Chains A and B, each alone.
Chain A
């Protein structure tokens, strides 16, 4: 009797180590490529949606805008109060600053390219027009290549201001393309060294009694607007532009009233201005 043949294992393919079909560097390279594409898309979208600078207005159109924004009724300014403005005004100490006409001086330093200066000139013009009158203001826009590009504004360069209460002295250091315009005098530079060591602009000194630097509201509230659109928006007290610009104007007005011993009374005696004055110290 023969022994049964030993069972042979069934025929099968030899075992192989599994091999990944995708190289290990593919995933990180794909991530980097995707991120680069996204960033490029952001840049393209930014370029496509950045508003172009508006051509400056002619003299008559500029004057119409100025008349509009400086002719707002006091009741509307009072109704806005400080609006959405950020009170940056700080008390400073120093010898009283007197202007070329013997009045307390409001000293401004800015630049035409600067978007924060662009924002702040609107309330400065409105506020100072309550104490006197500007002439020779021209429209311009902030730099096209800076943050908040092409913010519509005016320039103090070449403008004059006349008032029986306060003197206004301005220095616009650079134009919107950052070419030199004006330089502070040595006395003005000494004020900047004392009150604005960081060199922030815009800088405003109220008679060496109060000072602030920066804008009281963000310029994006004026983005893509024409000068007329901004002026029209100021007639609507609830508009974001009115709250920002008129609120800032009231803060500036209160600081100037402190310099002028609350003159003129028609401006400085309002409850809004009086309550802001109390906060200034």
Chain B
């Protein structure tokens, strides 16, 4: 139950970050983030990877969907959907980390915070799944 609440909290926090990044994208206001050197939110969020390919929809909007669904799933008893959804989120987050490090050479702090929340949710899902297998 405690882990479930933590996963829910992580989902809500991630939702907040995604909403902030999406709002900044559309409002065109500066981000509360360094903009020089390797830690450079502006460089990441103004790159071609900041929008979903073929659209003008910011990638953070996909984060809103993912974190929103995740938070909803964790209000229900644990099952395979939480594990599958969090695995999908982790794979996507790892791809975005690859883009930041390899393609752009810049790290966005807000994006990194969201990626860490995805990892936390996945770890909770894996741990909960391991516990369910032991009990059964």
Which A residues lie within 8 Å of B94 (CB)?
Answer: 35, 38
Let me know if A46 and B134 touch, CB within 8 A.
no
User: How far is the CB of B78 from the nearest CB of chain A, in Å?
Assistant: 14
Task: Name the interface residues of B60-118: CB closer than 8 Å to any CB of A.
Answer: 90, 94, 97-98, 101-102, 104-106
Which A residues lie within 8 Å of B127 (CB)?
Answer: 24-25, 27-28
Which 3 A-B residue pairs are closest in the complex by CB-CB distance?
Answer: A147-B106, A42-B101, A147-B43
Query: A1 at interface (Cβ–Cβ under 8 A)?
Result: no
Q: Which residues of B contact A (CB under 8 A)?
A: 30, 36-38, 40, 43, 47-48, 90, 94, 97-98, 101-102, 104-106, 119, 122-123, 126-127, 129-131, 133-134
Given A35-B119, A46-B105, A218-B47: A146 and B38 interface contact (C-beta under 8 Å): yes
CA distance A26 to B129 in the complex (A): 12
Let me know if B131 and A24 touch, CB within 8 A.
yes
Which B residues lie within 8 Å of A42 (CB)?
Answer: 97-98, 101-102
Which B residues lie within 8 Å of A145 (CB)?
Answer: 37-38
Which B residues lie within 8 Å of A27 (CB)?
Answer: 126-127, 129-130
CA distance A24 to B126 in the complex (A): 9
Count residues of A near B (Cβ-Cβ below 8 Å): 25
Known: A39-B101, A147-B106. 12 other contacts (CB 8 A): A24-B127, A26-B130, A27-B130, A28-B123, A42-B98, A42-B102, A43-B101, A45-B102, A46-B101, A146-B40, A146-B105, A147-B104
What are 22 sample pairs from A and B whose C-beta atoms fall under 8 A apart?
Answer: A24-B127, A26-B130, A27-B127, A28-B126, A28-B127, A31-B122, A31-B126, A32-B123, A42-B97, A42-B101, A43-B101, A50-B105, A145-B37, A145-B38, A146-B36, A146-B37, A146-B106, A147-B40, A147-B43, A147-B105, A149-B105, A218-B47
Which B residues lie within 8 Å of A38 (CB)?
Answer: 94, 97
Which A residues lie within 8 Å of B48 (CB)?
Answer: 218
Which B residues lie within 8 Å of A50 (CB)?
Answer: 105
Task: Name the interface residues of A6-43: CB closer than 8 Å to any CB of B.
Answer: 20, 22, 24-28, 31-32, 35, 38-39, 42-43
- B30, B119, B130: which has the most chain A beta carbons within 10 Å? B130
Which B residues lie within 8 Å of A45 (CB)?
Answer: 102
CA distance A198 to B35 in the complex (A): 11
Let me know if B130 and A39 touch, CB within 8 A.
no
User: How far is the CB of A264 from the nearest CB of chain B, in Å?
Assistant: 35
CA distance A163 to B95 in the complex (A): 50
Q: Which of B101, B105, B134 contacts A24 (CB under 8 A)?
A: B134
Given A147-B43, A218-B47: A46 and B102 interface contact (C-beta under 8 Å): yes
